[in-house]
């Protein structure tokens, strides 16, 4: 029985009005889920609304979370007040082939540039799992960095792409879990002369079958470590 035939059949039954309402809601939910892409996700984490304090790391660093409608996992943010020039942070973020030297807490990470122009780059990353029974992860992503297309307070933003039908030359196994739903954004706000609030906001579904409470802890730890690595690297060139 086809999908629309099933709707028609149910409309002819007793309490058809209620069944129609339920079916309509299910259709609307399915359409919403299907159309909720990474670009829309990026818009949600970009918005300053609904972020709530989670943890004060120190007097200058704060971790926040935000509920994303329709999803169990929250978005997460880390921010810090610093005197580091935001442009130095941006330079580090764009230099993705140097991530192995910068992101020291990310373990075994392989990165490749697929294409690049003045507005954005498409890249590929493979993260080797160091834990037993946990698969490695891989994904393609697009990072935008052009001031022409970004708001003035955005350093870069990125989102995951669908898997490409091409062979990468990084020598990675085929059993890695492919990630296709996630986005992140780096922002800054000038507080006063030579003082800035720099933040990194992220939503990432790591795939696989990990329990949500483990994923939340992993995401919280990962975003803080990445943020800290980047800021520490930028501080070297002050």
Mean pLDDT by 10 residues, the chain (238 residues): 32 39 33 59 93 93 93 93 96 95 85 94 90 84 89 94 72 77 95 95 83 80 93 87
Would you say residue 69 lies in a domain?
yes
Measure the CA–CA gap between 20 and 132, rounded to whole angstroms: 48
Find the domain containing 10 and state its range.
1-35
The pLDDT of residue 166 is: 64
Would you say residue 195 lies in a domain?
yes
- Shared-domain flag, residues 172 and 230: yes
- Shared-domain flag, residues 72 and 134: yes
Would you say residue 42 lies in a domain?
no
- Shared-domain flag, residues 101 and 21: no
The SS3 of residue 147 is: coil
Distances (CA, A) of 125 to 107, 147, 159, 171, 225: 12, 25, 13, 12, 17
Would you say residue 167 lies in a domain?
yes
- Shared-domain flag, residues 3 and 53: no
Q: For 95, phi and psi rounded to 5 degrees?
A: -80, 70
- Shared-domain flag, residues 95 and 150: yes
- Shared-domain flag, residues 6 and 84: no
The pLDDT of residue 229 is: 96
- Shared-domain flag, residues 103 and 26: no
Question: How many structural domains are present in the chain?
Answer: 2
The pLDDT of residue 106 is: 76
Q: Are residues 170 and 151 in contact, defined by beta-carbon separation less than 8 angstroms?
A: no
């Amino acid at each position: 029985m086809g999908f629309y035939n099933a709707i028609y059949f149910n409309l002819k039954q007793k309490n058809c009005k209620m069944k129609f309402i339920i079916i309509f809601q299910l259709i609307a939910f399915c359409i919403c889920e299907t159309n909720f892409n990474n670009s829309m996700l990026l818009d949600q984490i970009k918005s300053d609304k609904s972020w709530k304090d989670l943890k004060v790391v120190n007097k200058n660093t704060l971790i926040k979370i935000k509920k994303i409608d329709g999803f169990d996992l929250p978005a997460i943010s880390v921010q810090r007040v610093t005197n580091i020039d935001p442009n130095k942070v941006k330079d580090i973020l764009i230099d993705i082939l140097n991530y192995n030297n910068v992101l020291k807490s990310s373990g075994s990470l392989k990165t490749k540039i697929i294409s690049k122009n003045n507005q954005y780059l498409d890249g590929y990353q493979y993260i080797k799992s160091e834990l037993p029974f946990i698969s490695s992860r891989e994904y393609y992503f697009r990072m935008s960095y052009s001031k022409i297309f970004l708001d003035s307070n955005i350093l870069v933003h990125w989102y995951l792409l669908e898997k490409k039908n091409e062979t990468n030359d990084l020598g990675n196994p085929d059993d890695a879990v492919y990630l296709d739903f996630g986005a992140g954004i780096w922002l800054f706000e000038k507080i006063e002369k030579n003082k800035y609030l720099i933040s990194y906001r992220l939503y990432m579904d790591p795939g696989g079958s990990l329990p949500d409470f483990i994923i939340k802890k992993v995401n919280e730890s990962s975003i803080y470590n990445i943020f800290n690595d980047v800021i520490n690297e930028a501080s070297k060139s002050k």
